[in-house]
Amino acid sequence: MDARQLKVEAARAALAHVGSGMRLGIGTGTTAEEFVRLLAEKVATGLEVVGVPTSERTAALCRELGVPLSTLEETPELDLTIDGADEVDPDLTLIKGGGGALLREKIVAAASDRVIVIADRSKMVETLGRFPLPIEVNKFGLRATEIAVAAAAADLGLSGPVTLRMTGSQPFVTDGGHFILDASFGRIPDTRALSNALFAIPGVVEHGLFIGLASTAIIASGDGIQTVHAARKPGSSIDHDVA
């Protein structure tokens, strides 16, 4: 099975969790787009859902394929979000933002009762950090923010290039009008500590570490589909088991 087919299989398995009447968060990226295509087929045959897209790119695909859309203003509480990821660790902490949509993705995920991550097996890692961590930053004070990010990482024993994401000769600009720094720190043993350190920097708008947001990961490989549920945290209502 090639990489695209694995994405389709993960998306298909996630679609089984979608029921009529649901308010859906709809992710961004090539895997989420396979989900949108399958969802659109179901909508065409009568499934009634409303989707809140996590990017202009996803919104355009939904419109093209006839998936009914809402906004988070109109529909601030969602039943389920389905999204891809750049990396997934065994606790279902994620790195996201390879497509630049991390800010809206995190807002939508946080507004959802459940978040299902869909990915092929290559995205599973023991420790996050092989994929450069996307950090969305305000355009103002870019250089100062770059220096502060590197210093915050160094305090945690992390180091590596922090580069401004480009599109051709121009900086990449997110849907929110910000820039993205891609931080190649290597393995991140303490994601919570790095998250806190980054949020202490005023120029940081959001970062791509998704901690405690994913409830389930649906992972496709040549051996089939693996479904992993997030471990129960004190006070949480999330189920915990590994299937």
Ligand X SMILES: O=C[C@H](O)[C@H](O)[C@H](O)COP(=O)(O)O
Closest of 19, 22, 28, 25 to residue 81, by C-alpha = 25
Say which residues have a Cβ less than 8 Å from residue 130's Cβ, sequence separation at least 6: 87, 186, 187
Please tell me whether 96 is known to bind a ligand: yes
Q: Closest separation between CB of residue 27 and ligand X, Å?
A: 5
**Of residues 29 and 53, the one with the C-beta less far from ligand X:** 29
Secondary structure letter of residue 232 according to DSSP: P
Q: Both tokens of residue 9?
A: 């299989």
**Residue type at position 38:** L
Q: Both tokens of residue 214?
A: 């994913």
Stretch that binds ligand X, among 22-30, 106-114, 159-167, 221-229 (CB under 6 A): 22-30
Q: Diameter of the chain by CA atoms?
A: 55
**Of residues 86 and 89, the one with the C-beta less far from ligand X:** 86
Query: Any contact of residue 83 with ligand X (CB under 6 A)?
Result: yes
Query: Any contact of residue 106 with ligand X (CB under 6 A)?
Result: no
User: Is 105 one of the catalytic residues?
Assistant: yes
- Other beta carbons less than 10 A from residue 191's beta carbon: 21
Using alpha carbons only, give the angle 230, 17, 120 rounded to the nearest 5 degrees. Answer: 60
Stretch that binds ligand X, among 82-90, 141-149, 185-193, 235-243 (CB under 6 A): 82-90
Query: Any contact of residue 80 with ligand X (CB under 6 A)?
Result: no
Query: Any contact of residue 174 with ligand X (CB under 6 A)?
Result: no
Query: Any contact of residue 31 with ligand X (CB under 6 A)?
Result: yes
> Pick from 8, 15, 25, 29: which binds ligand X (CB under 6 A)?
29
Stretch that binds ligand X, among 10-18, 81-89, 143-151, 152-160 (CB under 6 A): 81-89
Q: Where do the H-state alpha helices sit in 99-141?
A: 102-110
> Pick from 9, 105, 136, 206: which binds ligand X (CB under 6 A)?
105
Instruction: Please tell me the number of Cα atoms within 13 Å of 173 on its side-chain side.
Output: 5
Stretch that binds ligand X, among 91-99, 137-145, 157-165, 213-221 (CB under 6 A): 91-99
Say which residues have a Cβ less than 8 Å from residue 243's Cβ, sequence separation at least 6: 226, 227, 228, 229
Closest of 235, 227, 237, 236 to residue 92, by C-alpha = 227
Query: Any contact of residue 25 with ligand X (CB under 6 A)?
Result: no
> Pick from 15, 23, 24, 28: which binds ligand X (CB under 6 A)?
28
Could you list the active site residues?
105
Which residues of the chain form contacts with ligand X (CB under 6 A)?
27-32, 83-86, 96-102, 105
